[in-house]
Amino acid sequence: MLDRSILALCREVTAKAILPRYRNLKAGEVEDKGGNDPVTIADREAEALLFDGLARLAPGLALVGEEAAHADPAVLDRLAGPCWVVDPVDGTRNFAAGQRPFGILIARCEGGEAQSGWIFDCLTERFCAAHRGGGALVDGEPITARPTGSERPVAAISLIFMDDAHRRSVLEHIAPHYSLADIPYCAAEQYPRLALGTNDVAIFERTLPWDHAAGALWLNEAGGKAARPDGSPYRVDQRGRTGLIGAASPALWAGMAERIAGLPERGAT
């Protein structure tokens, strides 16, 4: 079964390339790709190992990785066809600081959308899997997304990549309606939080394919909702597009989407 093969690959890569570097990075093994976006030697080594393993599972299927695309933006052209999309160490900011959480994200995409997705927590080995139309799993068990049940919904609002005007508007007009949760700086953690009763809703501004392909599919298959603020589905082949809402239920998603649509700068466009 593909899930078992992906889990074995994630475990192998974690043991060989990721955990040996955790809290053990040496000078020169962490770089900034620009915009406070770090990369470590573990990211590069893990991506190479993942590429090798995925190529064995599906010979000839195109490979798109975060580090490969940074080195050569032409790699993004592969998103138009069948491909694997990989984030070798999601949460690199945490990993480089010797903190949790961080994980591996893998999606198999076709037609611009994820058809299968996997989320692996490198420290706990929690393994989330989803296949389009087949539901969502956590450690092999079916999962149904559940809200926190809090009177005031719990929101994780990532402000990092918003421009100043939009950030101020979100803080003024949206934040007061929610109980704000710390963001984990890790999509491999944020998506499970939305289904497992920790958070109710999350806003993402930057929506790169390796960060969101697997998680958005998994959340939708769990019965939550991940979509663009206008309701359109998340696609990996939409370069440069920003904005994504994830929520534990369609109703929670709709409430956040309505508030975003009502932001002053959105209403003026």
The enclosing domain of 178 has a CATH number of 3.40.190.80
The verdict on 200 and 81 lying in the same domain is no
Closest to 46 (Cα-Cα) out of 82, 9, 84: 9
Do 61 and 83 form a contact (C-beta atoms < 8 A)? yes
Of 122, 142, 162, the residue that ends a domain is 142
Helix (H) or strand (E) holding 32: strand 30-32
| pTM (two decimals) | 0.95
Question: What pLDDT is stored for residue 266 in this prediction?
Answer: 53
CATH number for the domain that contains residue 91: 3.30.540.10
Q: What is the block-wise mean pLDDT of the chain (269 residues), using blocks of 10 residues?
A: 96 98 93 84 98 96 97 96 98 96 98 98 98 98 97 91 84 91 96 98 95 98 98 95 96 97 66
Question: What pLDDT is stored for residue 164 in this prediction?
Answer: 82
Question: What pLDDT is stored for residue 267 in this prediction?
Answer: 46
Enter the DSSP assignment of 76. Answer: G
- φ/ψ bin of 140: left (φ > 0), alpha (ψ from -120 to 50), beta (otherwise): left
In a domain, 149, yes or no: no
Question: What pLDDT is stored for residue 254 in this prediction?
Answer: 98
Count: domains in the chain? 2
Which residue do the tokens 């570097």 mark?
21
- Provide the domain limits for residue 15: 2-142
Question: What pLDDT is stored for residue 171 in this prediction?
Answer: 86
The verdict on 197 and 80 lying in the same domain is no
CA–CA gap between residue 214 and residue 107 (Å, rounded): 5
Closest to 102 (Cα-Cα) out of 185, 161, 208: 185
